[in-house]
Amino acid sequence: MPKSKVTKPPVKADEKTAEPKKRSSKHPQLLRGMKDILPESQKYWNYVRKLVEQLAEDYTYEMIDTPILEETSLFTRSVGENTDIVEKEMFSFEDKSGTNVSMRPENTAGIVRAYIEHGMLDRPQPVRLFYWGPFFRYDRPQAGRYRQFHQFGFEAIGDNNPIIDAQLIVMCQSIYNTIGIPVVTQINSVGCKKCRKDYEQLFTDYLSSRKKFLCEDCKRRLVKNPLRVLDCKVKECKEILADAPHIVDHLDEECKEHFVKVLEYLDEADIAYQLNPFLVRGLDYYTRTTFEIWPEKDDGSQSALGGGGRYDDLTEMLGGRPTPACGFAGGVERLVISMREKEIVIPQPEPPDVFVAQLGESAKKKALRLVEDLRIKGIRAASNFSKEGLKYQLSVAARLRVKFSLILGQKEMLDKTILLRDMEGGSQEVIDYNKVYVELKNRLEKTKAIIQNRNNQIEE
Ligand code: HAM
């Protein structure tokens, strides 16, 4: 008999492709590259968010929210005018006052703007900030690439010590390790303004002699911003780049020492990394360390789960005082796709304490109040008022995994009582309605103690 093939459950289309269904003129549909995060996906999102928030708390990073809409010049001056993000991918428009605005394609620029604008230089340095939110890039949608996507990120502003870079990498790896996604850190150094100048000349000379083989975009980049050729994904350009001089071989003494220190700290922390001389990242603001977190088994698409690096010149580029900084951002959608592919099990949330079921109009009215009264007193009560039948309501209670249900019918209304049903054994007892809170609380505490006892015995 042929062996039956074990097939993994497919990753949901809404997570993976971001492709909308066929357009119909009958009703509005999702825009291309956008996606809904449906209730059944939220457990992954909540889990990642809680993990990131806990990590931020552990490493004393404080939450910051910046606006989705910023002046376009913020991104042209920081991310860079000749980068793909600014040239091709920004959602930009003129607002009603005639200001050129863009929906943020990333957050480092916005955070540095906020750092300067709110005088954070006067706070103890480094200022450690973290964020979570939506970002927008008008790119060609494909697996793991959307026009609206979400990032979490950490920025440490005001310290040039290489241990900051290493600690950020330790933090990032910890997220993926905790979740159970095997990753590898790719790392490089792109040096500083000074050492990059010499390298740029060397690199331009190398490319100029091969110009005719470059794609049209790269021919243009060669004149305007040669280093951006290193971001090119076109096969012919990649082949030319394979023999190009490496920036890491042309670092000045200070940058070299900084990079060596970052690597030493990573070795000390037992963090595995791969040196990648082509990792310049597609944004102009980087200096010295650049790094990306890749899935361990990369399928060739090199869809990084996250990336970051040092940006010591960015504060100055945006009009502030020179302030060294380093940061990282992770893509949430790509992480959730990996979690689903790896069938990562999310710890189930605690079920509600009780389900309130009712029969008849007057019981329904009373139950409405009871649910809210219990909630205010700290008992999480679930209900479903949409259907009348008791059987249906109890099936909802079972699905919610509650230990107890309260049942209020016409008889109980007349007697001023309520039924308390143990959902596991199915036994029911009549309780004085006025004592419902006390009785329920006792039962819940008893059940909790039994479970605790059982868990202790298992541990022993
Ligand atoms: P980035 O590499 O452009 O860096 O983006 C970081 C991560 O966001 C990517 O590795 C990827 O997981 C996710 N991402 C980017 N574009 C998309 C997209 N179109 N669809 C889905 N996910 C996407 C930055 O944004 C820098 N601001 C990171 C940083 C922080 N550098 C220093 N501090």
Q: Per-residue confidence at 8, pLDDT binned at 50, 70, 90?
A: very low
Q: Can you give the pLDDT at residue 20?
A: 52
Residues of the chain with pLDDT > 90: what percent? 82
Count the alpha carbons within 13 Å of 16 in the hemisphere toward its beta carbon: 8
Q: Which of 111, 131, 149 to mutate to test the pocket of ligand 1 (most atoms within 8 A of CB)?
A: 149
Residue 196 to residue 225: CA distance in whole angstroms: 12
Q: What is the mean pLDDT of residues 415-442?
A: 96
Q: What are phi and psi of 169, to 5 degrees?
A: -65, -40
Hey, whose CA ends up nearest to atom 21 of ligand 1?
145
Q: Domain spanning 354-454 has what CATH number?
A: 3.40.50.800
CB distance 110 to ligand 1 below 6 Å? no
Residue 113: its H or E element? helix 108-117
Q: What is the mean pLDDT of residues 400-429?
A: 95
Q: What are phi and psi of 109, to 5 degrees?
A: -60, -45
pTM (2 decimals)?
0.89
- Ligand 1 center to 49 CA (angstroms): 16
**DSSP-based three-state secondary structure for 187:** strand
Q: Where are the alpha helices (DSSP H) in 184-282?
A: 193-208, 216-224, 235-241, 253-268
CB distance 137 to ligand 1 below 6 Å? yes
b/e string for 169-186 if b means 16 or more Cβ within 10 A? Answer: bbbbbebbeebebebbbb
pLDDT one-digit tens code per residue, 265-313: 999 999 999 999 999 998 999 999 999 999 987 665 558 999 999 999 9
Q: Is the pLDDT of residue 22 over 70?
A: no
Strands 306-310, 287-295: parallel, antiparallel or unpaired by DSSP? antiparallel
Cβ contacts of residue 123 below 8 Å, gap of 6+? none
Q: What is the mean pLDDT of residues 45-61?
A: 97
Largest CA distance in the chain: 95
Q: Per-residue confidence at 231, pLDDT binned at 50, 70, 90?
A: confident
CB distance 146 to ligand 1 below 6 Å? yes
Domain range summary for the chain, segments of one domain joined by +:
31-192+252-341, 354-454
Q: Does domain 31-192+252-341 have CATH number 3.10.50.40?
A: no
Q: Which of 131, 334, 335, 339 to mutate to test the pocket of ligand 1 (most atoms within 8 A of CB)?
A: 334
**DSSP-based three-state secondary structure for 90:** coil
Q: Where are the alpha helices (DSSP H) in 149-210?
A: 162-179, 193-208
CB distance 127 to ligand 1 below 6 Å? no
In one-letter notation, the amino acid at residue 118 is H
Between the alpha carbon of residue 380 and those of residues 145, 203, 281, 349, 404, the distances in Å are 39, 64, 48, 13, 11
Q: Per-residue confidence at 3, pLDDT binned at 50, 70, 90?
A: very low
Q: Is the pLDDT of residue 44 over 50?
A: yes
CB distance 108 to ligand 1 below 6 Å? yes
Q: Per-residue confidence at 450, pLDDT binned at 50, 70, 90?
A: confident
Q: Is the pLDDT of residue 456 over 90?
A: no
- Ligand 1 center to 151 CA (angstroms): 7
Q: Is the pLDDT of residue 154 over 60?
A: yes
Q: Where are the alpha helices (DSSP H) in 269-387?
A: 314-317, 332-341, 361-376
Tokens 């200070």, located at residue: 254
The token pair at 380 is 């999480």
CB 169 within 8 A of CB 271: yes
CB distance 333 to ligand 1 below 6 Å? yes
Q: Per-residue confidence at 24, pLDDT binned at 50, 70, 90?
A: low
pLDDT one-digit tens code per residue, 351-382: 999 999 999 999 999 999 999 999 999 999 99
Q: Is the pLDDT of residue 1 over 90?
A: no
Among 17-21, 121-125, 454-458, the range of highest mean pLDDT? 121-125
Hey, whose CA ends up nearest to atom 9 of ligand 1?
306
CB distance 141 to ligand 1 below 6 Å? no
